[in-house]
Copies of this chain bind each other. A is one copy, B any other.
Amino acid sequence: MGRDRAGQLGERMSEEEPTPGSVRPGGRTARTRAAVLTATFDELGEGGYGELTMEKIAQRSGVHLATVYRRWGSVERIICELMIDKSADIALPDTGSLRADLHGLASGIGAFYAAPRNRRVMEAVVAAAVRQPYAAEMLRDFFRDRRRDAAVLVRRAIERGEVPADTDTDAVIAALGAPFYYRLLISRGPIDQDLAETTAAAAYEAARAGVFRHPAADAGER
């Protein structure tokens, strides 16, 4: 439970000693990184976050335990890095209609989380975010960026006149994503095509009805 490391180590605060692996990112460093991430992904697929240990990761990857600790410091950091690696798989559709776009995006999310390993990774990241502030910040920023990317679907729909001009694009995307994480973390049921279709349709109908219009607030959206 990393409490005030800087206070104990002394030189960290003055010289800002770089993390091992950041000066020479290529060659052996890249290999160990790949080995550790792969091992973590496989380990998560078998046992889940509760069973995951730094020692198991070290053993499966063939990388020494001390090295894993030096480069990442905790399982949570490894998992965060793993999520960023894996999450590039969900594509943004561009069909010409908001209904189809939302369906496509929801299908993509649904297909992603249909894989138990991806599910476990996201579960682990959320759990890590609850325990460690830096993981929470990472998770929040990551999803903020992804929603920002996906907001283009709604912006195009606004231009087409499908939804009101003052629709909160971020709110629509958040409404599209929310049910997946509810299923993933709360009701803990299967994530299937049914959920994707229902979710997409619900977000679409609500957006068309003008539910997500800005509440006449300030321009704090940037």
Interface residues of A (CB under 8 A from B): 1, 48-51, 123-124, 126-127, 129-133, 136, 139-140, 143-144, 147, 171, 174-175, 177-179, 181-183, 185-188, 194, 198, 201-203, 205-206, 209, 211-212, 215
Q: How many angstroms between the C-alpha atoms of A206 and B151 in the bound complex?
A: 20
CA distance A39 to B144 in the complex (A): 35
Residue of B51, B179, B209 touching A205 (CB-CB under 8 A): B209
How far, in angstroms, from A126 to B185 measured CA to CA in the complex? 7
Central interface residue in A132, A144, A188, by most chain B CB within 10 Å = A188
On whether the beta carbons of A186 and B182 are closer than 8 Å, the reply is no
Which of B1, B49, B133, B177 contacts A186, CB < 8 Å?
B177
B206 touches A212 (CB 8 A): no
- Beta-carbon nearest neighbor of A172 in chain B: B202
Given known A188-B139, A211-B201, contact A50–B130 (CB-CB < 8 A): yes
Whole-angstrom distance from the CB of A87 to the nearest CB of chain B?
Answer: 13
**How far apart are the CA atoms of A75 and B60 in the complex, in Å?**
30
A175, B13: Cα distance in complex, Å: 47
- Interchain CB contact under 8 A, A171 and B185: no
Q: Which residues of B contact A201 (CB under 8 A)?
A: 206, 209, 211
Chain B residue at minimal CB-CB distance from A136: B188
Contacts of A48 in B (CB 8 A): 130
A179 contacts B175, C-beta separation under 8 Å: yes
A176 to chain B, nearest CB (A): 10
